[in-house]
Chains A and B, each alone.
Chain A
Amino acid sequence: METLEEKIDARPMTIPGFGRALRSEEMVINMGPQHPSTHGVLRLELIVDGEIVVDAIPHIGYLHRCFEKHAEHMTNYQQVIPYCDRMDYVAAMNAEFGYVVACEKLLNIKVPERVEYIRVIMAEFQRIASHLIAIGTYGMDIGAFTPFLFCMRDREAILDIFEQTCGARLLYNYMWIGGLSHDVPADFAEKVKRFCKMFRGTIKELNNLLSYNKIFVERTANVGVLPADVAINYGASGPVLRGSGVKFDLRKNDPYSVYDKLEFEIPTGKGLKGTTGDCWDRYMVRVDEMEQSVNIIEQAVDKLPPGDVQSAIPKRIRPDAGEVYVRTETPKGEIGYYVVADGTASPFRVKVRPPCFVNLAVLPAISRGAMISDVIAILGSVDIVLGEVDR
């Protein structure tokens, strides 16, 4: 076992312009787990040469909560849903969406159209809410405080709609296997439309305040460039993959629920301010996605059929022995549920393929040679939630 010093000595200096002649001693600093910009309890071990990062090693596991063990020990399938909520706690709707779709496939249930449409509306609302947090905290990482508060204000409106529907604001337990816990309130359509109208304006405001701000562009364009082939090799998904210019979105490429009946586009990074796949592209993909989500919500509300949201809920959830893998698109990327049933009332195993965990793996590859401030920008643009990374 070689010591850290030996490791550092053995590492060749590869930063252009800082050749061997200038070699000096590197410093190891810990970023996190208590650091304002690691978005939770991520610990980054940074090996720095002055302000330049030679290597960044993420250490995870500070928020490990034994999701798989919990899932095995539940007395029925339904009880796993609250644990799904607690993985990506800022996008709980999307996480439970994937799980219920997986269980319904295992049970071979066809859920009513109304349930599907409400699920899509809720999932898209949650996507906007999650992106608002991502964008707001990203602005804060770069040093702009005000956009964060503006984003939280708009997110509040979405949470109010959630609260009116199911009583919860963060962890909903709203989507049940075969249905929903509550139907939407009577004035739902009107409220949703009012929000959509208001929100298009605030996206413009956000763009003026942050997205096209000269300093913001300087800080994020050409920083942390993730080429498309590297993104694919690492298995990145969601805005991180699309920011690199790869047009891949499960809502289009492998449609589930009623996404194939709705019109929307998949925004990708085009390198408008710098190189394709830089931090600004990843950021802008999120902004554009929020606009597309508003489109989806408006269409879904218009198409919302009448009916009962609990008619398809099975009396007894006891699937035959078998296994299923279902993947859906969360705001962070592709979430996969691998559910194994053994014929009893509780799942034999629930394995999750979390998008944040996979996206985080890209971080060291694009952080080498950047500055400490850039590492913050890169980490923010990858947008991780530690609850999902560690599970």
Chain B
Amino acid sequence: MKEFLIDILQNEILVYVLMAAVPLVWIIPFALFAVWWERKISAHMQDRLGPMRTGGWHGWAQTIADILKLIQKEDIIPAAADRKLFNLAPYVVFVGSFAAYAAIPFSAAYVGSEINIGLFYILAVSSFVVVGLLMAGWASNNKWSLFGAMRAAAQIVSYEIPVALSLLAVVMIVGTFDLQEINRAQSGYFWNWFVFQKFPLLFVAATIYFVASLAEVNRTPFDIPEAESELVAGYHTEYGGMKFALLFLAEYANMFAVSAIAATVFFGGWNSPFGDFMSGPVWGLFWFISKGMAFIFVHMWLRWTLPRLRVDQLMYVGWKVLIPFSFVIVLGVGFWVMLAR
């Protein structure tokens, strides 16, 4: 795609800007849609209708109206807050989640930056979010925010280990961190997807990744950093207006990022499940987004079904269940790969 664009536009810098803008163009409509979708899903799960009026058909314009409202809000900074950090934090959080999109392969033809350490890069930059959350919690100068930030830091750092280990199992099989390479290794029919390979080792790895990724994006049952019934709203208690919208946007962007990685690494990414049928760069985009959306639906489904764990129980699940199991998976896959060679 890069070469093709350079051919047309004859301007390399403009092409880089365009390439970088693609994920942004995707994130904003996605977040608008996902917020509306989540409200509809939760409503239908709870015998309600959800937004029905704004915009006409099933309240499709509800989130647009919400965003317009948030833009008009007064930008309030608490008197005792650390102004610099307080203002900076939402951007740091958003940059962390946006940067991960650089290496996510949307289709065979498009990946923001085709680097050979794509997966490694994503794992690294997505940890950046923690810094932003800690900044937000600390700078608010609110005890509840501080609690939320501390919980978020502890949780995300702990759950990065099972995430990395479960992805490592696939990396050991393919032998590269390059996400396009991982995608190509799964082409063909859906039984070539890594989730069905080396059964049941990678299936368990995919499950571990999914559970740990829920914790990484602070979704129920691991939503303890923002636990509205305990910490009011956690680290974003003091945020309002556009800064709150930015934190919210980052949350949904993160949600799609982890779902996209699950889809890419374990579920064939942009590959069609039926071999050559409906495959190609444009269909690839369709399959990739459908798979990502399917995971997001599961995220929402879980959120509106399950209660929330306690902090110590969360740490127990992370350190005593997921991490030992993912070590076993890594060892098992290692032996399998060695013996099968």
Contacts and interface: CB of A to CB of B under 8 A. Distances in A.
A142 interface: yes
Shortest Cβ-Cβ A-B pairs, 9 listed: A143-B308, A149-B46, A144-B307, A142-B307, A143-B307, A37-B229, A373-B310, A29-B143, A215-B307
A143 B305 contact: no
A143 B221 contact: yes
Contact of A145 (B46, B143, B310): B46
7 contacts: A140-B229, A146-B305, A210-B307, A215-B308, A218-B310, A374-B310, A376-B229
B305 to A, nearest CB: 6
Given A219-B313, A373-B308, 13 more contacts: A29-B144, A36-B229, A37-B230, A141-B229, A143-B227, A144-B306, A145-B42, A146-B45, A146-B305, A149-B46, A213-B306, A218-B310, A373-B311
Contacts of A139: 307
Given A29-B144, A372-B230, A216 B47 contact: no
B312 interface: yes
Interface in B282-334: 304-313
Range of interface residues on A (Cβ < 8 Å): 20 to 34
B221 A215 contact: yes
Range of interface residues on B (Cβ < 8 Å): 20 to 34
Decide if the interface of chain A is mainly helix, strand, loop or mixed. helix
A219 B310 contact: yes
B223 A143 contact: yes
A149 B47 contact: yes
A51 to B, nearest CB: 6
A308 to B, nearest CB: 40
A149 B48 contact: yes
A150 interface: yes
Contacts of B144: 29
Given A144-B307, A213-B307, A373-B310, A153 B47 contact: yes
B28 interface: no
Interface of B: 42, 45-48, 143-144, 147, 220-221, 223-224, 227-230, 232, 304-313
A121 B153 CA distance: 53
Contact of B304 (A27, A146, A215): A146
A202 to B, nearest CB: 11
Contacts of B147: 51, 372
Contacts, number: 75
Interface of A: 27, 29, 35-37, 51, 139-146, 149-150, 153, 209-210, 213, 215-216, 218-219, 371-374, 376
Nearest to A51: B311
B47 A150 contact: yes
Nearest to A376: B230
Contacts of A142: 229, 307-308
Given A145-B46, A150-B47, A218 B309 contact: yes
Nearest to A30: B143
A372 B310 CA distance: 9
B250 to A, nearest CB: 22
Contact of A27 (B143, B308, B312): B143
B229 A143 contact: yes
Contacts of A35: 232
Contacts of B309: 215, 218-219
Contacts of B305: 144, 146, 209
B313 A218 contact: yes
A143 B143 contact: no
B301 to A, nearest CB: 11
A165 to B, nearest CB: 25
Contacts of B220: 143
A35 B229 CA distance: 8
Given A51-B311, A149-B48, A215 B228 contact: no
A49 to B, nearest CB: 13
B20 to A, nearest CB: 38
Nearest to B151: A51
Contacts of A140: 229
Contacts of B312: 371
B131 to A, nearest CB: 22
Nearest to B223: A143
Nearest to B305: A146
B232 A36 contact: yes
A10 B305 CA distance: 45
Contacts of A219: 307-310, 313
A225 B46 CA distance: 32
Nearest to B224: A373
Nearest to B308: A143
A210 B308 CA distance: 12
A142 B229 CA distance: 8
Contacts of B230: 37, 372-373, 376
A153 B223 CA distance: 26
A149 B45 CA distance: 9
A216 B46 contact: no
A35 B227 CA distance: 12
Nearest to A29: B143
B228 A36 contact: yes
A107 to B, nearest CB: 46
